[in-house]
Amino acid sequence: GIQVEQSPPDLILQEGANSTLRCNFSDSVNNLQWFHQNPWGQLINLFYIPSGTKQNGRLSATTVATERYSLLYISSSQTTDSGVYFCAVAGRMIKAAGNKLTFGGGTRVLVKP
């Protein structure tokens, strides 16, 4: 099946700093989503971005599908940005009806005041 790798595994930031999280995947995808998992375990949708660039406030994401990677940018980080960020993909070659997500191992972000 498709493989998803995220880096770095851990990230400690000072409040106000910028950061870049990376997601590499091993095959063509028809779905790529970035999530933020809060301390209570809720997965919050950040972006649906199988290709291209999107921005939402201080967050933006870029997926280069031909090179099989995606980047999540956090600008002017705040303590509320702490948590685990997951990249998840659905491979293009699986049954079209399924679209099951394969998750990376996550990047654990701690923003210090």
By CB under 8 A, name the binding residues for another protein.
4, 30-31, 33, 35, 40-43, 45, 48, 86, 88, 90, 95, 97-106
Query: Which tokens go with 63?
Result: 């997926």
Q: Nearer to another protein by C-beta: 17 or 59?
A: 59
Nearer to another protein, 76 or 110 (CB): 110
Instruction: Give which of 58, 55, 56, 71 is closest to 104, Cα–Cα.
Output: 71
Nearer to another protein, 17 or 92 (CB): 92
Task: Look up residue 78 and give its two tokens.
Answer: 């705040």
Amino acid (one-letter) located at 39: P
E strand map for 49-82: 52-56, 59-64, 69-74
The distance of closest approach from Cβ of residue 9 to another protein in the complex, given in angstroms and rounded to an integer, is 10
CB of 40 to another protein, least distance (A): 7
The nearest distance, CB 76 to another protein, in angstroms, is 27
- Token pair of 23, please? 């997601």
